[in-house]
Amino acid sequence: MALQEKYINPFTDFGFKKLFGTELNKPLLISFLNQLLPQHHKIKKLSYLKTENLGSDEFDRRAVFDLYCISQTGERFIVETQKARQKYFKDRSIFYTTFPIQEQAQKGDWDFKLNPVYLVAILDFSFDEERKEKFFHRVELKDDENRIFYDKLNFIFLEMPKFKKGEEDLETIFDKWLYVLKHLSGFQKRPPKLKERVFERLFKAAEIAKYTKEEAMQYEESLKQYRDFNNVINTAIEEGKIQGKMQGKIEGKVEGKIEVAQNALKKGLPVNLIAELTGLSEKDIARLSSEME
């Protein structure tokens, strides 16, 4: 299948990591994060950390982040894209932040001082339907008088479907970043409003024609998985197997979840992705796969 888009889709695994997860494109990640962070945590330098994190022993559950990095002043950042809503999405977000907290523990005499931890989630769905216009959420720990209780644990959520601004409405770099992330794969050239140097760099990094043959094949496979994932969700919704909202709220009957999993297995989606989509365990999905064979 020939690729028709000129620029990659940043919501694919390959696309997101190509734009933000390489040493060459690190300035793009720094620029993007600095639009989301409070002034006192702005980033000048950034280092990538390993994306797979394990618990305190071999039997603990692991966490695999899309991107995990640390600033020169010690702040830690987990940066994630999320394709579809899952039942315990907020719980998962909390769980992920426990790893960069625990790894700061020091042996010997330690006073428990921690560096800030941020989880940044770029969502390809909406999770807060009550506030239909609000797409940017910064969550902090506050007390019963709405005062900041602890400012070192922060959650930032971007509900991309709610961002509705067109090119003529763009006023800030923040606006421009969200606009380009949402529409990048549909552009045939860089829009005139995105004249800043950082976006010039982004469009060069996103141009598929400049990739090696191996990179193009990796992106095509990643794009196929992304499209299959969306197709499974849409098909299940049309068949009434998923109850809830169009954004992918997975809360159906067990039979419906099994059928969604079966369709996803036929499409060749990874087991961990199917588990995220349906809420079934990876063990149950593996057993289902064996039964289908």
pLDDT digits (tens, 9 = 90+) for 167-217: 999 999 999 999 999 999 999 999 999 999 999 999 999 999 999 999 999
**Confidence grade of residue 291 (pLDDT, cut at 50, 70, 90):** confident
Of the candidates 180, 116, 128, which has an alpha carbon nearest to the alpha carbon of residue 157? 128
Confidence band, pLDDT 50/70/90 cuts, at residue 250: very low
- In this prediction, residue 58 carries a pLDDT of 47
- Per-residue pLDDT, 115: 94
CA–CA distance, 122 with 78 (Å, rounded to integer): 11
Rounded Cα distance between 202 and 192, Å, is: 14
The size of the chain, in residues, is: 293
47/279 Cα distance (integer angstroms):
33
- Residue 125: its pLDDT value, please? 85
The HSE-up count of residue 261 (CA atoms within 13 Å, CB side) is 27
**Consecutive H or E run containing 133:** none
How high does pLDDT run on average in the chain?
Answer: 85
The tokens for 94 are: 């909390």
Q: How far lies 107's CA from each of 28, 103, 110, 112, 114, in Å?
A: 35, 11, 7, 11, 14
pLDDT of 86: 73
Q: Give the pLDDT score at 47.
A: 95
User: Residue 205 to residues 28, 67, 202, 211, 255: CA-CA distances in angstroms?
Assistant: 10, 17, 5, 9, 43
Q: Grade residue 238 by pLDDT with cuts at 50, 70 and 90.
A: low
pLDDT band (50, 70, 90) for residue 256: low
Q: What is the residue whose two structure tokens read 């549909």? A: 186
Tell me which of 132 and 98 has the higher pLDDT. 98
**What integer is the mean pLDDT of 144-168?**
94
pLDDT at 20: 96
Whole-prediction pTM: 0.77
Q: Please give the average per-residue pLDDT across 80-90, as a whole number.
A: 81
For residues 39-52, give the mean pLDDT. Answer: 90
Per residue in 6-34, pLDDT (tens digit) is 999 999 999 999 999 999 999 999 999 99
What is the C-alpha to C-alpha distance for residues 37 and 4, in angstroms, rounded to an integer? 35
Count of CB atoms situated within 10 Å of the CB of 179: 20
Tokens read off for 71? 């600033």
Letter for the amino acid at 136? F
Q: Collapse the DSSP code of 274 into the 3-class scheme (helix H, G, I; strand E, B; otherwise coil) and give the result.
A: helix
